[in-house]
Homo-oligomer: A and B are copies of this chain.
Amino acid sequence: MRDVAAQAGVSAMTVSRVLKGDPRVSSGSRALVLAAVEELGYRLNETARSLRVGGSGLIGLVVTNIANPFYSRLTLGVQEVAGEHGLRVLLANTGEDTDRERELVDDLLARQVDGIVLVPAGTGQGPLALVAARGMPLVLASRPPSDIDTDCVLVDDFGGAREATARLIAAGHRRIGFLGNPPALYTGAERFRGYWAAHEEAGLEPDERLVRRGLRDPATAQKAAEELLDQPDAPTALFCTNNRLTQGAVRAVRSSARTTALAGFDNFDLADVLGIPLTIAAYDPDEVGRRAARMLIDRIRPSSDRPIPARRTVVPTNVIEYGPRHDS
């Protein structure tokens, strides 16, 4: 910047003012500075600016697995809103590892991010208390706060699971298997609750022997589904708590002789073209990211100076029915 100032024959202060658009600069100086900037190919050093001004213009985004389409879409939503406010996204991936989450958050703090959007890994959130304690704006996504009091964006896990299950019941199914992710996870617990509630509301009681929880990937889901379908009194339908488990179940159904109906949480590509009866509780993952970013920015740049209480917002689901293939 000194070089630019020298080249333009003004002081560094004037250069600074021109660059940040301060109107109190004569158009003459402005032109001189701009010319010098151009000629020297100068760019402002954001690091130094951050140090002086405070606030890095960065927000941290911590997800469990960026390769999962849900989180990559969430990332897109966060990016979109952050970009509108001139903020950049520093991305971190925990792989569901709590220790790593702590390290990453720690590093984000050291880098002076202006706020953090985080999908909590695992279940305990003790370490995050630190973040909140330091007054760092923090929004949780997908899973609610447990040990701490902070903003969060959730999906209507309960409602979506309940309605999808209810559709199966309405279609006449009475023996509906459940393929679920670990019950210790919030989404797992809520979606199971929805499955159960739909039964109760129809005056039915689910058969516990048709319930398999703690499934983590398509392969284990496929195996569990095959076992269920292989029983003498097999379920006529299966509800799966997420897209990966649904995909495992699709394989199992496909390789069996039965025409088992499927329902699941999360939409996925080609669901329309599988040619089996499929009921999906869908929602917009981008919207989770957008809302999280908006809540975060509300705290980073408060519109009023009253303290904002911790808020919670729930992204709705809508149930889609894909029919079997209609061969024409």
Contacts and interface: CB of A to CB of B under 8 A. Distances in A.
B247 A325 contact: no
Contact of A47 (B56, B61, B67, B107): B56
A221 to B, nearest CB: 13
B257 A270 contact: no
Interface stretch (A86-94, A150-158, A175-183): A86-94
Contacts of A76: 65-67, 93
Contact of A110 (B46, B93, B269, B325): B46
Q: How many copies does the complex hold?
A: 2
Interface of A: 41, 43-48, 50-51, 56, 58, 61, 65-67, 69, 71-73, 75-76, 79, 83, 88-93, 106-107, 109-112, 130, 133-134, 247, 250-251, 254-255, 257, 268-270, 272-275, 286, 325, 328
Nearest to A65: B76
B90 A88 contact: yes
A168 to B, nearest CB: 21
Given A45-B112, A47-B111, A67-B76, A274 B272 contact: no
Contact of A72 (B43, B66, B251, B270): B66
CB-based closest 3 A-B pairs: A72-B72, A46-B110, A91-B91
Given A106-B43, A270-B274, A88 B111 contact: yes
Contacts of A46: 107, 110-112
Contacts of A247: 269-270, 273
B325 A254 contact: yes
